């Protein structure tokens, strides 16, 4: 079985600063993917970034990067140069390659960016 743990219920960051949102995972599957989604108060889940378990390099997408430490089973999201529009709920999620239809979410971290 897979499990995602997000230990930070809430985080605050000042505009233009960088912030790291923590995510640890537990899986017995040798092949898996890790995702981060952003959910603003409007409700839509917005895909941000993906990391495969066999990827050697950390994934980056614009201001988002994923700090993947396989041995520690962590997949932290780093947001650089925070903007007010980054205020939202952030979910880490995982899926096993053998069972790609089931996305397992963490409990989420609410990020608030202040001026």
Partner 1 sequence: DTEVTQTPKHLVMGMTNKKSLKCEQHMGHRAMYWYKQKAKKPPELMFVYSYEKLSINESVPSRFSPECPNSSLLNLHLHALQPEDSALYLCASSQEPGQGADTQYFGPGTRLTVL
Q: 84 φ, ψ to 5°?
A: -55, -35
CB of 14 to partner 1, least distance (A): 25
Of the pair 31, 112, the CB lying nearest partner 1 is at 31
Q: What is the smallest separation between the CB atom of 111 and partner 1, expressed in angstroms?
A: 14
Taking the alpha carbons at both ends of the chain, their separation in whole angstroms is: 41
We find the least distance from the C-beta atom of residue 84 to partner 1, in angstroms, to be: 21
CA 13/CA 21 separation, integer angstroms: 11
Q: Is 17 or 26 the residue whose CB approaches partner 1 more closely?
A: 26
Q: Which residues lie near partner 1 (CB under 8 A)?
A: 31-33, 35, 37, 42-47, 50, 52, 91, 95, 97, 100-103, 105-108
Provide the CB-side half-sphere exposure for 89 (13 A, CA). Answer: 15
Q: Which is nearer to partner 1, 77 or 108 (CB)?
A: 108
Q: Decide: 94 and 34 in contact? Cβ < 8 Å.
A: yes
């Amino acid at each position: 079985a897979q499990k995602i743990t997000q230990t930070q219920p809430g985080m605050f960051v000042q505009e233009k600063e960088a912030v790291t949102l923590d995510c640890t995972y537990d899986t017995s599957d040798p092949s898996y993917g890790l995702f981060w989604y952003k959910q603003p108060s409007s409700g839509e889940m917005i895909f941000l970034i993906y990391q495969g378990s066999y990827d050697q390099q950390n994934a980056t997408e614009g201001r988002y990067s994923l700090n993947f430490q396989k041995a520690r089973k962590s997949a932290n999201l780093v947001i650089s140069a925070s903007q007010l529009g980054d205020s939202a709920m952030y979910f880490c999620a995982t899926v096993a390659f053998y069972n790609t239809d089931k996305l397992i979410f963490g409990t989420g971290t609410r990020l608030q960016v202040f001026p």
